């Protein structure tokens, strides 16, 4: 693709010495083509335990009724919709990485898009379970769709944001799945080509007859671009519509025009945090340090910091507008968040979402793997509390004080949430076991342009002035995957 | 035509080959190897693959076919011979009476399902109290006895009769007493049947004793006027009412009838005429009546007498010793006395104490005020409470002395509700033969030798006379369900009479009541009552030696005065405890504390602070040497140093719903001056542990919001719009939504906050009418009660002339005695721009062309979005399958009790939202009746269940498209406002401002 060389000022997107295309394929397919290691098994067993907790909790709910949860006449949604919005939000990073960054030609996405998209799909699956589970009569869940029916001239209520939600989520899921799968085709073909026997047969079915011809590649590129074009508005629309579940209501604390952008920013915030959580472990356990580099980690931390700041501004705006509106119900709703019985949740949210990402202003912190990992989890705890604060503290004290009530979760509420995390990891770990966790074909594109190996070669050839090379050397010091020796090799020979 | 053609099936048959002949004899061409398969070897052989597949295929096919069966259809079997008066789907109404109130019983296909007041009756004609509406559930109570019992075993009636007669004869021969221990008996036919028994056995006597006694009034009236009766009160004529600890709108005497009359001087019609009565209450605990008072002064129980002495002094200008030293009370008394004197003839003082001296003093005051004849009627006196504490004392002494041969307990449960139950138990042991007429094995009946269970009043013939000269009839609306027999019938049988009860009641009426009135028995059955009462009572003058009475009051007050004083009271929901197994009543929140399913110790929040108690705390209340442990309620308005506890709880043997609910507080009472006193010197100490009460409301102030709008009468007189916050023309509203025509009817409601006393009978009526499940204590704790209609109660604390209605401000208040209360019935507002309707994804809740917000249960799949988006939080979700789930065994989880369900209203399964439907089934029935009669629906044809039960006429329902309907007129009132109208949901229920007739400074 590149007829001329990338600037040396740009940090490498791939590190390591003597990397060949075959080496990349070998590295990435290592977990797919070999028996899983101990770490995988431990993770998988723990996840399965979590998932079975989910099965038990959801099964118990279906058997006995929603009364198994802590909801009451005043608080009709609590952990269920909190968890739902949380998972949907987490899903956002995948689409943003795969679609928006593709359109903006951000090549660094190539190493992380696969896992991020997989995370999206599994997160949306987890979210969708709540859509069904929170219903009083889940066996009628299909009524949410405007299906032809024999009930007479019955139709859904197109005024209801829940109907919009059903469309938004299902569209989002479908498009994400197709996008992800299209991207997987060349990689599945690679697995197929290297496999034998039954494995080969299975992978050849799933590779859809990919033959690697130029025409195939050309179509692949076009489809990717088209799907990216379709997905990009979804990044904005899905959480916008989720936010409208609240924004179009009359409940103080919900009825807020700021919600759509605020929710989208929050979603990207939490999504990137989740990608960070997953990838930091992934790169270590699967030895992907050369592909998912410090550059990626730092870039994602910067996005977390920016979106976290947007979310923080939104929180403050909400408080200001509540005061500025002069509406007593509005003012009370926010005063109650800040100082009411659930103030601890509000301050947990403020600390985790507004204060903690500001730590990423420090380069030391944003390039530190353990701190990044901890903060990524802190962010998602904060985002869970954000949804809890919005949903529960708005509902529990609305207009008529006679109905004010507290919400206390039951073991089933907790079980479904913890269980859904288990479910997510079961899916994610199976994904890592059977499909390449990094887009092989896309990463290969970087080898001859953005890899350290390539840049070293150019430096040694003397393609760049020394001051720039010095800058480049300095920027490599943060990389945990680059040795001092490699840095010293960056000299004109 | 005969044919002998023969068709052969094959050449073998034509040729009749030997093989064919042999085979044609057996059914199957090849022998079936049944023996081979079923012998041991056959069973133990391995199943070949093909056999396995065959079996699998057959099994799968068979199961599939079986599963294809249609859902079983339960067919309703039509009558083979249809009773003439029953048309399926059309209700029949029968006149009857409950506790002396003339009622109409609604029956459907032979099942009584609803109790309404008899609008053409006498006395209480508008509304029923909670116990009356709920009483229909008692008919279907599973805890009742199904057969008579002797020594705890079911027996035949004949066996029981012979045993009883033998015992009666034995007692008569021995010259021992035969006592019928009963709560007040005012039924003429019961009295007549007792007279028959007395004729046969002359030692028979009737001992009347009431759990909540009015002996003090009876004794006082005997002393003052020579008439040992409880008078009846007509609060409709009173412009100034002073009540000293009498819950006269609630549990005192005839609260519901008092409400009906009292509110007539305070509701929107009266205000329209510029009139409003003034009501001053002195009491320790915040009673329902106190919560409705214009001025309320918190006093200790021992101060009640002193307050009355001061009041007497102020009115008469005398200076009898022993007046109150309470500064707040003194100020109020000065103002009150002036008012009372100024409205002589329209002023009355009532007192709740069951004490001869206090009541004598009250008689003296009322004589001064000219209340006798005008308000207090001693001629058409009340016969609801005739029990005498001293008579019962005499019975106990006689029994303990072995002088009683037979004791028959009728509607009476002294082992539970007499303060000294050990005494009662000891007495029972000394009686040779004991029998109870209880319908269940209650606390007393389970100690007795025999039980002769009586049917429910809805299965009985009988009558009542709640007031002198007024007679109401009780007629059965269903055949006796169990093998029960009315007590009257038993008396007749034991007296050797053979008349059946119907003939007996009828003969008694025809000879003793109807004679000379020109009315026939049939007419009485249709009307339900007959009144021979005089128009108004005549004036009486009390003959009271005030000085000595006052001295006695002061002396007695010392007996109960203490640092901490206990006040026992009868709750407006459970009353004296006899209805404790009624789940509707158990779940009806207390009008003031909003507590369900428990009694509690109500103490002032400051007092609680001193004791180191907070929410969910527990205390030990000790009085008269006995103590009980109770959860506390921090009750604003409660006098400092007092604790109030409701009696009627803590039943141990009443049934599934009522057993062990709360604690029995009767033992804390005592006997002073020969009457049972509900006040005592007490001590309260913090008990270990916590207990969460099931309250339907846990936040008690309006937080300064304008959802309640209130003004004073003085301001109202200057400007009727006062504080109503109407912005009618000054405010332009904009609308996003299409306007829909409502050309036919437009159903709306008006609620008068000045009329609503908060009693809650509307809630029970709504429950019964709409099959609303009772969910039990745990679910109420989780804030999941299902009531479609609730009554919100808000406090405003007044201190130093400031009013506090915000939680944060109240935190700094030091004095919680001075509280004003407002009751606001809250139900679905049927908003024109209903927020619930727009958010339902499946259109399960939609608007009708008659302005109603409908709920299609079948379409609901339970997202609960509508409930979240309801600003009034009136939507209720079926978290479980409440009406038919073994975990909710309160009442409906059996086929028998399910007979109480209203067939016009579907029961809701779990996962479905529900809410007030504006009794749509009643609207439809009204429209159909009008259509059948080929006329237009007129105002008043359709009444909501809540409206029918409201004696204060606080709920007015009707058609807004009819400008002459009562509701249209009411909604044109200046006081009308709409709750949360600023969010433009356009509710269809208008509220009228609360007006308080306070003293102007």
Q: Dump the DSSP string for A32-81.
A: HHS---HHHHHHHHHHHHHHHHHHHHHHHHHHH-GGGSS--SS---SHHH
Q: Which A residues 125-144 touch B at CB under 8 Å?
A: 134-138, 140-141, 143-144
Together in a domain, A147 and A204:
yes
- Is A117 in the same domain as A162? yes
Residues A442 and A466 in one domain: no
Do residues B633 and B666 lie in contact, with contact meaning Cβ atoms separated by under 8 Å?
no
At B614, is the secondary structure helix, strand, or coil?
coil
In angstroms, the CA B999 to CA B963 distance is: 37
**Which of chain A's residues have a Cβ under 8 Å away from the Cβ of B697?**
402-403
Same domain, B238 and B378: yes
Would you state the pLDDT for residue A15?
87
Please state, for a pLDDT cut of 90, what percent of chain B lies above it: 63
Which stretches within A286-393 are classed as H helix?
294-325, 328-339, 343-350, 363-366, 369-388
Tell me which chain B residue has its CA closest to the CA of residue A398: B871
Burial class (CB in 10 A: 0-12, 13-18, 19+), A152: exposed
Whether residues A418 and A475 fall in one domain: no
Range of the domain at B161: 149-208+387-467+470-531
Is residue B863, in this structure, part of any structural domain at all?
A: no
pLDDT tier for residue B789 given thresholds of 50, 70 and 90:
very high
Q: What SS3 state is found at B408?
A: strand
Q: Do B869 and A250 touch (CB under 8 A)?
A: yes
For residue A226, give the 3-state DSSP assignment. Answer: helix
Q: Average pLDDT for residues B571-582, to the nearest whole number?
A: 91
CB atoms within 10 A of CB B11: 9
H helix or E strand, kind and range, residue B565: strand B564-570
Q: Could you tell me how far CA A404 lies from the centroid of its own chain?
A: 35
**Are residues B402 and B273 part of one domain?**
no
Domain assignment present for residue A167? The answer is yes
Residue B414, helix vs strand vs coil: helix
CA-wise closest residue to B776 among B659, B663, B903: B659
Phi first, then psi: give them for residue B624, nearest 5 degrees. Answer: 50, 35
Same domain for A462 and A437: no
What's the average model confidence in pLDDT over B229-237? 91
Could you tell me if B328 and B257 lie in one domain? yes
Domain at B194, CATH number: 3.40.50.740
Mean pLDDT of the residues in chain B: 89
Give me the pLDDT at residue B1, please.
54
B877:A163 CB<8 A: no
Are residue B175 and residue B320 in the same domain, yes or no? no
A and B: number of Cβ contacts within 8 A:
161
What pLDDT sits at residue B37? 67
pLDDT of residue A1: 40
Instruction: Tell me the angle at which helices B761-769 and B130-139 cross, rounded to the nearest 10 degrees.
Output: 30
One domain, residues B350 and B489: no
Beta bridge partners of A33: none
Mutate to test the interface with A, among B864, B876, B915 (most CBs of A within 10 A): B864
Measure the CA–CA gap between B506 and B906, rounded to whole angstroms.
40
Which of B415, B413, B408 is closest to B433 using CA atoms?
B408
- Which residue from A minimizes the CA distance to B842? A156
Are residue B378 and residue B416 in the same domain, yes or no?
Answer: no
What pLDDT was estimated at residue B311? 92
A376, two tokens = 């990524």
Report if residue A342 sits inside a domain.
no
Tell me, yes or no, whether B865 lies in a domain. no
Q: How many CB atoms are located within 10 Å of the residue B353 CB? A: 25
Q: Quote the CA–CA distance of B650 and B660 in Å, as a whole number.
A: 5
Both A138 and A193 in a single domain? yes
Predicted TM-score (pTM) of this structure: 0.89
Asked if A63 has any chain B CB less than 8 Å from its own CB, the reply is no
> Does a structural domain hold residue B940?
no
pLDDT digits (tens, 9 = 90+) for B58-88: 999 988 888 776 767 777 777 788 888 888 8
> In terms of domains, do A240 and A212 share one?
yes
Check A405 against B698: CB less than 8 A apart. Answer: yes
CATH code (residue B810): 3.30.70
Identify the bridge partners of residue B233 per DSSP, sorted by sequence position.
B376
User: What does residue B633 show for φ and ψ, rounded to 5 degrees?
Assistant: -120, 125
The span from the CA of B172 to the CA of B514, in Å, is 35
Shared-domain flag, residues A234 and A284? yes
Domain closes at, from B382, B410, B437: B382
Number of domains making up chain B: 5
pLDDT per residue of chain A (493 residues) written in tens, 0 to 9: 444 677 888 888 888 888 888 888 888 888 888 888 888 899 999 999 999 999 999 999 999 999 999 999 999 999 999 999 999 999 888 888 888 888 888 888 888 888 888 999 999 999 999 999 999 999 999 999 888 877 677 889 999 999 999 999 999 999 989 999 998 999 999 999 898 889 899 999 999 989 889 999 999 989 988 988 888 888 888 899 999 999 999 999 999 999 999 999 999 999 999 999 999 988 888 888 888 888 899 999 999 999 999 999 999 999 999 999 888 999 999 999 999 999 999 999 999 999 999 999 999 999 889 999 999 999 999 999 999 999 999 999 999 999 999 999 999 999 999 999 999 999 999 998 899 988 888 888 888 888 888 888 888 888 888 888 888 888 888 888 888 888 888 887 7
The CATH number linked to B257 is 3.40.228.10
Are residues A446 and A463 part of one domain? no
Distance CA B391, CA B977 (A): 55
Q: In this structure, are B358 and B474 located in the same domain?
A: no
Closest of A450, A473, A3, A85 to residue A267, by C-alpha? A85
A390 lies in a domain? no
Q: How far apart are CA B117 and CA B125, in angstroms?
A: 6
Please state the ipTM of this predicted complex.
Answer: 0.92
Residue B483, domain member (yes or no): yes
Report whether B158 contacts B374 (CB < 8 A).
no
- Report the C-alpha gap between A412 and A53 in whole angstroms: 9
Q: For B687, which DSSP code?
A: E
Rounded to an integer, what distance in angstroms lies between the CA atom of residue A493 and that of residue A461? Answer: 7
Q: How far is CA B989 from CA B832, B941, B976, B979, in A?
A: 10, 19, 10, 8
**Same domain, residue pair A481 and A461:** yes
Per the domain annotation, does A313 fall within a domain?
no
The CATH code of the domain that includes A424 is 1.20.1630
Q: Are strands B204-208 and B450-451 parallel, antiparallel or unpaired?
A: unpaired
* B580/B647 same-domain check: yes
DSSP for residue B772? P
Same domain? A444 vs A456: no
User: Does one domain contain both B409 and B512?
Assistant: yes
Same domain, B512 and B405: yes
Do B313 and B334 meet the contact criterion of CB atoms below 8 Å apart? no
Of the three residues B354, B382, B410, the one that is the final residue of a domain is B382
Of the three residues A450, A466, A481, the one that is the final residue of a domain is A450
Sign of CA dihedral B540, B541, B545, B547: positive
Task: Please state the rounded mean pLDDT for residues B566-574.
Answer: 92
Question: Does B513 share its domain with B392?
Answer: yes
Lowest model confidence (mean pLDDT) among A146-160, B48-62, B185-199: A146-160
Cβ atoms < 10 Å from Cβ of A324 = 11
Instruction: Name residues 793-832 of chain B within 8 A of A (Cβ).
Output: 793-794, 824, 826
What are residue B105's DSSP bridge partners?
B94, B115
**Helical residues (DSSP H) of A96-213, grouped into ranges:** 101-103, 109-133, 161-194, 197-206
pLDDT at A2: 43
Looking at the partner chain, which of A72, A249, A402 has a beta carbon nearest the beta carbon of B697? Answer: A402
Number of domains in chain A: 2
A248 vs B contacts (CB less than 8 Å):
838-839
**Among candidates B704, B793, B861 on the partner chain, residue whose Cβ is nearest the Cβ of A135:** B861
The pLDDT value given to residue B946 = 94
Q: How far apart are CA B940 and CA A155, in angstroms?
A: 37
The tens digit of pLDDT for each residue in B831-881 reads 999 999 999 999 999 999 999 999 999 999 999 999 999 999 999 999 998
Which residues in A lie closer than 8 A to residue B860 (C-beta atoms)? 136-137
**A203 touches A184 (CB < 8 A):** no
Q: Does B547 lie at the interface with A, CB-CB under 8 angstroms?
A: no
Among B353, B382, B411, residue at a domain's last position = B382
Q: Which member of A70, A159, A401 has the closest CB to residue B703?
A: A401
| Claim to verify: residue A473 and residue A446 sit in the same structural domain | no
The residue segments making up the domain with residue A456 are 451-493
Separation between Cα atoms, residue B849 and residue B514, nearest integer Å: 51
Q: Give me the numbers of helices (H) and strands (E) for chain A, helices first please.
A: 20, 0
Chain A partners within 8 Å of B880 (Cβ) = 64-65, 67
**Residues belonging to chain B:** 1001
For residue B413, tell me if it sits in a domain.
Answer: yes
Q: In this structure, what token pair is assigned to residue B238?
A: 């009173």
B368 with B399, same domain: the answer is no
Contact A399 B872 (CB under 8 A): yes
* CA triple A341-A347-A350, angle to 5 deg: 145
């Amino acid at each position: 693709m590149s007829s001329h060389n990338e600037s040396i000022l740009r940090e490498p997107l791939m590190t390591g010495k003597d990397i060949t295309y075959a080496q990349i394929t070998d590295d990435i397919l290592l977990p797919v083509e070999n028996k899983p290691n101990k770490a995988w098994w431990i993770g998988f067993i723990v996840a399965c335990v979590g998932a079975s907790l989910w099965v038990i909790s959801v099964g118990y709910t279906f058997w006995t009724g929603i009364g198994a949860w802590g909801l009451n006449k005043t608080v009709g949604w609590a952990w269920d919709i909190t968890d739902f919005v949380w998972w949907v939000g987490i899903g956002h990073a995948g689409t943003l990485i795969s679609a928006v960054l593709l359109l903006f030609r951000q090549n660094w996405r190539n190493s992380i898009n696969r896992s991020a998209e997989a995370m999206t799909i599994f997160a949306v699956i987890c979210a969708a379970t709540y859509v069904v589970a929170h219903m009083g009569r889940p066996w009628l869940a299909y009524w949410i769709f405007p299906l032809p029916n024999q009930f007479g001239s019955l139709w859904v209520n197109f005024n209801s944001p829940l109907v919009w939600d059903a469309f938004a989520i299902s569209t989002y899921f479908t498009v994400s799945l197709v996008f992800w799968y299209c991207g997987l085709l060349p990689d599945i073909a690679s697995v197929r080509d290297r496999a034998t026997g039954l494995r080969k047969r299975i992978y050849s079915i799933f590779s859809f007859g990919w033959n690697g011809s130029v025409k195939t590649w050309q179509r692949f590129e076009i489809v990717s671009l088209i799907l990216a074009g379709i997905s990009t508005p979804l990044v904005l629309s899905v959480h916008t519509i989720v936010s409208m579940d609240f924004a179009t209501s009359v409940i103080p604390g919900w009825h807020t025009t700021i919600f759509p952008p605020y929710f989208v920013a929050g979603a990207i915030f939490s999504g990137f945090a989740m990608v960070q959580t997953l990838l930091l472990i992934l790169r270590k356990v699967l030895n992907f340090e050369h592909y998912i580099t410090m550059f990626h980690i730092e870039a994602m931390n910067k996005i977390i910091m920016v979106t976290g700041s947007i979310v923080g501004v939104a929180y403050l705006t909400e408080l200001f507008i509540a005061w500025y509106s002069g509406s007593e119900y509005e003012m009370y709703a926010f005063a109650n968040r800040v100082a009411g019985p659930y103030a601890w949740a509000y301050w947990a949210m403020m600390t985790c979402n507004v204060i903690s990402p500001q730590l990423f202003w420090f380069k030391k912190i944003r390039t530190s793997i353990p701190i990044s990992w901890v903060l990524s989890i802190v962010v998602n705890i904060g985002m869970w509390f954000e949804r809890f604060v919005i949903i529960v503290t708005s509902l529990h004290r609305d207009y008529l004080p006679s109905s004010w009530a507290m919400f206390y979760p039951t073991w089933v509420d907790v079980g479904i949430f913890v269980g859904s995390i288990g479910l997510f990891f079961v899916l994610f770990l199976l994904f890592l076991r059977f499909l390449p966790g990094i887009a092989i074909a896309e990463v290969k594109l970087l080898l001859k342009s953005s890899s350290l190996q390539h840049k070293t070669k150019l430096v040694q050839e003397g393609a760049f002035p020394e001051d720039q090379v010095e800058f480049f050397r300095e920027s490599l010091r943060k990389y945990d995957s680059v040795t001092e020796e490699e840095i010293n090799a960056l000299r004109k020979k | 035509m005969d044919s002998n053609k023969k068709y052969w099936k094959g050449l073998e048959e034509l040729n009749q080959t030997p093989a064919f002949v042999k085979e044609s004899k057996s059914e199957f061409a090849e022998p079936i190897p049944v023996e081979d398969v079923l012998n041991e070897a056959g069973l133990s052989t391995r199943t070949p693959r093909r056999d396995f597949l065959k079996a699998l295929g057959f099994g799968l096919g068979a199961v599939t076919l079986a599963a294809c069966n249609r859902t079983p259809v339960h067919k309703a079997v039509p009558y083979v011979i249809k009773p003439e008066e029953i048309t399926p789907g059309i209700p029949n109404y029968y006149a009857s009476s409950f506790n002396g109130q003339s009622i109409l019983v609604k029956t459907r296909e032979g099942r009584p399902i609803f109790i309404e007041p008899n609008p053409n009756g006498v006395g209480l004609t508008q509304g029923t109290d909670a116990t009356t509406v709920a009483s229909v559930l008692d008919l279907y109570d599973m805890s009742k006895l199904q057969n008579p019992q002797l020594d705890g075993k079911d027996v035949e009636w004949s066996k029981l009769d012979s045993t009883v007669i033998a015992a009666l004869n034995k007692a008569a021969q021995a010259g021992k007493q035969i006592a019928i221990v009963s709560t007040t008996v005012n039924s003429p036919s019961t009295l007549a049947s007792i007279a028959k028994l007395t004729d046969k056995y002359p030692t028979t006597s009737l001992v009347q004793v009431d759990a909540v006694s009015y002996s003090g009034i009876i004794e006082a009236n005997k002393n003052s006027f020579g008439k040992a009766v409880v008078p009846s009160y007509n609060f409709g004529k009173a412009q100034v009412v002073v009540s000293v600890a009498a819950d006269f709108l609630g549990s005192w005497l005839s609260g519901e009838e008092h409400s009906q009359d009292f509110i007539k001087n305070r509701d929107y019609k009266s205000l329209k005429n510029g009139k409003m009565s003034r009501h001053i209450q002195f009491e320790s605990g915040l009673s329902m009546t106190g919560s409705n008072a214009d001025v309320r002064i918190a006093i200790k129980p021992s101060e009640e007498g002193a307050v009355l002495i001061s009041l007497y002094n102020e009115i008469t200008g005398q200076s009898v010793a022993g007046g109150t030293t309470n500064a707040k009370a003194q100020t109020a008394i000065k103002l009150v006395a002036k008012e009372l004197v100024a409205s002589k003839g329209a002023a009355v003082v009532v007192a709740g104490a069951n004490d001869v001296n206090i009541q004598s003093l009250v008689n003296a005051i009322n004589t001064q005020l000219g209340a006798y004849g005008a308000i207090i009627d001693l001629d058409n006196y009340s016969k609801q409470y005739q029990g005498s504490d001293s008579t019962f004392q005499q019975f106990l002494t006689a029994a303990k002395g072995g002088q009683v041969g037979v004791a028959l307990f009728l509607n009476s449960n002294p082992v539970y509700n007499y303060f000294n139950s050990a005494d009662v138990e000891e007495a029972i042991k000394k009686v040779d033969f004991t029998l109870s007429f209880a319908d269940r094995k209650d606390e007393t009946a389970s100690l007795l030798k025999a039980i002769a269970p009586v049917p429910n009043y809805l299965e009985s013939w009988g009558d009542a006379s709640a007031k002198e000269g007024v007679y109401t009839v009780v007629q059965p609306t269903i055949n006796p369900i169990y093998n029960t027999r009315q007590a009257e019938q038993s008396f007749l049988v034991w007296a050797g009479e053979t008349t059946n009860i119907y003939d007996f009641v009828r003969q008694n009426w025809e000879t003793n009541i109807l004679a000379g009135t020109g009315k026939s028995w049939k007419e009485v059955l249709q009307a339900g009552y007959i009144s021979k009462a005089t128009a108004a009572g005549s004036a009486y003058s009390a003959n009271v030696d005030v000085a000595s009475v006052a001295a006695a009051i002061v002396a007695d007050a010392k007996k109960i005065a203490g640092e901490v004083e206990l006040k026992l009271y009868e709750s407006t929901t459970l009353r004296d405890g006899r209805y404790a197994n009624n789940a509707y009543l158990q779940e009806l929140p207390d009008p003031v504390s909003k507590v369900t399913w428990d009694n509690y110790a109500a103490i002032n929040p400051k007092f609680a602070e001193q004791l180191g108690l907070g929410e969910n705390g527990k205390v030990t209340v000790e009085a008269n040497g006995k103590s009980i442990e109770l959860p506390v309620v921090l009750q604003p308005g409660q006098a400092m140093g007092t604790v109030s506890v409701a009696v009627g709880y803590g039943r141990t043997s009443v049934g599934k719903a009522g057993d062990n609910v709360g604690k029995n507080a009767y033992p804390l009472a005592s006997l002073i001056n020969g009457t049972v006193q509900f006040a005592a010197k007490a001590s309260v100490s913090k008990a270990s542990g916590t207990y969460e009460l099931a309250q339907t409301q846990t936040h008690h102030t309006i937080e300064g919001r304008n959802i309640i709008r209130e003004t004073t009468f003085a301001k109202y007189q200057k400007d009727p719009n006062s504080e109503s916050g109407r912005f009618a023309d000054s405010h332009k509203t904009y609308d996003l939504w299409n306007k829909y025509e409502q050309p036919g009817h437009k159903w709306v409601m008006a609620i008068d906050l000045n009329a609503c006393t908060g009693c809650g009978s509307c809630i029970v009526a709504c429950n019964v009418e709409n099959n609303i499940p009772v969910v039990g204590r745990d679910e109420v704790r989780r804030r999941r009660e299902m009531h479609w209609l609730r009554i919100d109660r808000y406090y405003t604390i007044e201190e130093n002339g400031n009013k506090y209605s915000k939680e944060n401000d109240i935190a700094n208040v030091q004095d919680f005695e001075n509280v004003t209360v407002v009751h606001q019935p809250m139900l679905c507002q049927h908003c024109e721009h209903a927020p619930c309707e727009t958010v339902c994804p499946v259109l399960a809740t939609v608007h009708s062309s008659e302005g109603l917000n409908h709920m299609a249960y079948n379409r609901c799949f339970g997202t609960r979005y509508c409930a979240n988006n309801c600003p009034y939080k009136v939507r209720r979700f079926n978290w479980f399958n409440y009406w038919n789930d073994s975990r909710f065994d309160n009442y409906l989880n059996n086929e028998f009790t399910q007979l109480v369900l209203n067939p016009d209203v579907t029961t809701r399964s779990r996962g479905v939202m529900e809410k007030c439907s504006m009794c749509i089934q009643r609207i439809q029935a009204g429209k159909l009746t009008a259509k059948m009669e080929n006329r237009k629906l007129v105002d008043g044809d359709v009444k909501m269940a809540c409206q029918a039960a409201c004696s204060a006429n606080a709920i007015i329902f009707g058609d807004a498209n009819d400008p002459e309907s009562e509701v249209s007129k009411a909604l044109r009132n200046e006081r009308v406002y709409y709750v949360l109208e600023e969010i433009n949901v356009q509710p269809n229920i208008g509220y009228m401002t609360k007006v308080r007739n306070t003293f102007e400074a």
